[in-house]
Amino acid sequence: MEQLVHGVPDPVVREFLLMADDSIVAVLPFTLAIAARLGVADACAPEGSAPGELAAAVGFAAEPLTSLLNALTGAGFFTRDEHGRFAPTELGEVLKAGSALSMRATLSNLDSCRAWLRAADAAAQLRPLPAAAGESFFTDQDTRTTTDAAFNTRMKERARRLYGSLAELPVWDGAHTVMDIGGGTGTVLAAILAARPQLRGVLFDRRSVIDLAAVDSPLDPVRDRCTLVAGDFFDGLPGGADVQVLGSVLHDWDDEKAAGILRAGVRALAPGGRILVCELVVPETADPHPARWSDLGMLVLLGGRERTLPEFDALFAAAGLVRTRVLPVGESGFSLIETRPSGPVPAGA
């Protein structure tokens, strides 16, 4: 098998195929999800903890917890000393809630797993993939408080990890007010305002998210320069911002809805303003790229999609925008696409 997959261009696929015979690829995601949900890494004492101590701390049985920890020790997430005490490694920091590297909420998420199981069953029966509509997905978040809180924690982790260098890009000079549309509880906007003290900010999201941001947000240190606004971007956006940011928003929606969001942005944009779209861009070549996998994920979870640059250009044109430049966002694989109004808003916008 190693010889067979040697020439596979995507390293993730190479590793997947090499692990498949031992079923690691099936077991590892759920092992990490269990460890993250139990909070095992957070429960470990600095010098390490015995399985019985950890079992008592997290309220789980010692024997299966030991098996779990042994497996994750072999995978590099924990160490085990001569006394049988476990402690998280540097890699294991991703399982800790308070770590700067935390992926605990993301690894705990089983919604995607359930959606893909439904998709696999649908495909076996030759039915279309059971993609949820974006409206129903976000309505579900609004009506289930626990689900919405978990979703927003995942988005906070994701934004910190993937958009960390957004504030450093050369797109803020001359700007006065930046509005983060669908910006969650403010992780990205907080970084921008902290790095650019001349800016004022507007955080726009659903009512349930804004209510959460009002009491628990990374924006707290810059709250004097930021306004929180709740609403639905399909109903309109507050005006006045000369820079709008859409971070991983358009990929949640089909082309019609995505163009509608951009039209709302154009109507609300201050004269001379810009709309910045931060998304994965699907390569037009056959090269491996995480956008190809995310494209399938958006289809299954939301009925959305990732897009190539020409596909983005078509969206922009439909909304009365034109692309002016594209900048890489660190090493995240994301791109920041800068757009400006190309003229009058198209009829029907």
What amino acid positions are annotated as catalytic residues? Answer: 251
Which secondary structure element, helix H or strand E, spans residue 277, and what is its range? strand 274-280
CA distances from 30 to 96, 113, 255, 294, 300 (A): 16, 9, 34, 20, 20
**DSSP class per residue in 25-75:** HHHHHHHHHHHHHHTHHHHS-TT-B-HHHHHHHHT--HHHHHHHHHHHHHT
How is residue 302 written in tokens? Answer: 């939301």
The candidate with the shortest Cα–Cα distance to 135, out of 12, 232, 242, 34, is 232
State how far the Cα of 243 lies from the Cα of 296, in Å rounded to an integer. Answer: 30
Query: Running DSSP on this structure, what letter comes out for residue 80?
Result: E
**DSSP class per residue in 184-227:** TTSHHHHHHHHH-TT-EEEEEE-HHHHHHHTTS-TTGGGGGGEE
Cα R_g (the chain), whole angstroms: 22
The candidate with the shortest Cα–Cα distance to 51, out of 35, 75, 29, is 35
CB 306 within 8 A of CB 329: no
Which secondary structure element, helix H or strand E, spans residue 290, and what is its range? helix 290-302
The candidate with the shortest Cα–Cα distance to 185, out of 262, 115, 247, is 247
